[in-house]
Structure 1
Amino acid sequence: MKINRLFSLELERNSLRPYQIAVEVGTVFILGFIYLMAAIPKIDPGDSDAELFSSYNFVIGLTLVVMMGIFSVISATMSSKFIVDEYRGKKAILLFSYPISRKKIMETKILLVFLFTFGSMLISGAIVLAVFMITESLVPIGNDIASLGLMLTSIIYLVCYALIAAFCGIASSWIGFRKQSVIATIVASCIIMVTMCQIVAMTFFSGVAMILLLAGMGIITFLAVESMLSQARKMEI
Structure 2
Amino acid sequence: MLQLIKLELKKGRLTSYLWGALIAYLCIAGAMSVIYFADPANLEDPSFRSQAEMLSMIDLLVRATFIVYASVLLSKLIISEFKDKTIALLFAYPVNRKKLIFAKLAMVFIWTFVNVIVANLLVGGLFIGINSIWGYLSDPLQTEMLLQHGLTVFMQAFGAAGMCLLPLVAGLRNKSVPTTIVSSIVIVMIVCSNNLGFSLSSILAIPLSLSVLGILITYLSFRKIDQMDVA
Given the alignment, which residue of 226, 230, 233 partners 2:219?
226
Q: Given the alignment of the two structures, is residue 79 of structure 1 paired with residue 87 of structure 2, yes or no?
A: no
Post-superposition offset of 1:79: 0.6
Given the alignment, which residue of 17, 31, 45 partners 2:15?
17
Count of aligned pairs between the two proteins: 229
Q: Given the alignment of the two structures, is residue 34 of structure 1 paired with residue 32 of structure 2, yes or no?
A: yes
- Percent identity over paired residues: 23
TM-score, length basis structure 2: 0.87
SS class of match (1:198): coil
Letter in structure 1 aligned against 2:17: Y
In structure 2, the partner of 1:158 is 153
SS class of match (1:53): coil
Specify every segment of 5 or more residues in structure 2 that has no aligned partner in the other structure, as ranges: none
CA distance in structure 2 between the aligned counterparts of 1:187 and 1:143, rounded to whole angstroms: 39
TM-score, length basis structure 1: 0.85
Q: Given the alignment of the two structures, is residue 149 of structure 1 paired with residue 144 of structure 2, yes or no?
A: yes
- Confirm or deny: 8 A CA contact 1:68 1:164 kept in the other structure: no
In structure 2, the partner of 1:63 is 58
- Confirm or deny: 8 A CA contact 1:102 1:236 kept in the other structure: no
CA distance in structure 2 between the aligned counterparts of 1:114 and 1:205, rounded to whole angstroms: 18
Q: Residues 64 and 215 from structure 1, CA distance in 2 versus in 1: closer, same or farther, beyond 3 angstroms?
A: closer
CA distance in structure 1 between the aligned counterparts of 2:201 and 2:140, rounded to whole angstroms: 17
SS class of match (2:13): coil
Letter in structure 2 aligned against 1:21: W
Q: Residues 103 and 204 from structure 1, CA distance in 2 versus in 1: closer, same or farther, beyond 3 angstroms?
A: closer
- Confirm or deny: 8 A CA contact 1:34 1:60 kept in the other structure: no
Report Cα offsets for 1:58-84 as digits up to 9, x if no partner.
222222112111110001100111111
Q: Given the alignment of the two structures, is residue 177 of structure 1 paired with residue 175 of structure 2, yes or no?
A: no
- Confirm or deny: 8 A CA contact 1:19 1:78 kept in the other structure: no
Q: Residues 173 and 15 from structure 1, CA distance in 2 versus in 1: closer, same or farther, beyond 3 angstroms?
A: farther
Q: Residues 191 and 183 from structure 1, CA distance in 2 versus in 1: closer, same or farther, beyond 3 angstroms?
A: same
Q: Residues 135 and 64 from structure 1, CA distance in 2 versus in 1: closer, same or farther, beyond 3 angstroms?
A: same
Q: Residues 41 and 92 from structure 1, CA distance in 2 versus in 1: closer, same or farther, beyond 3 angstroms?
A: closer
Structure 2 counterparts to residues 108-147 of structure 1, below 5 A:
108-137=103-132, 139-147=134-142
- More divergent stretch after superposition (162-171 vs 113-122): 162-171
- Confirm or deny: 8 A CA contact 1:72 1:169 kept in the other structure: yes
In structure 2, the partner of 1:216 is 209
- More divergent stretch after superposition (14-23 vs 71-80): 14-23
Specify every segment of 5 or more residues in structure 1 that has no aligned partner in the other structure, as ranges: none
Post-superposition offset of 1:236: 6.0
Given the alignment, which residue of 89, 95, 110 partners 1:94?
89
- Confirm or deny: 8 A CA contact 1:19 1:74 kept in the other structure: no
- More divergent stretch after superposition (171-180 vs 93-102): 171-180
Provide the alpha-carbon RMSD of the alignment: 2.5
CA distance in structure 2 between the aligned counterparts of 1:116 and 1:225, rounded to whole angstroms: 17
Q: Residues 113 and 174 from structure 1, CA distance in 2 versus in 1: closer, same or farther, beyond 3 angstroms?
A: same
Post-superposition offset of 1:41: 4.3
Letter in structure 2 aligned against 1:230: R
CA distance in structure 2 between the aligned counterparts of 1:38 and 1:199, rounded to whole angstroms: 16
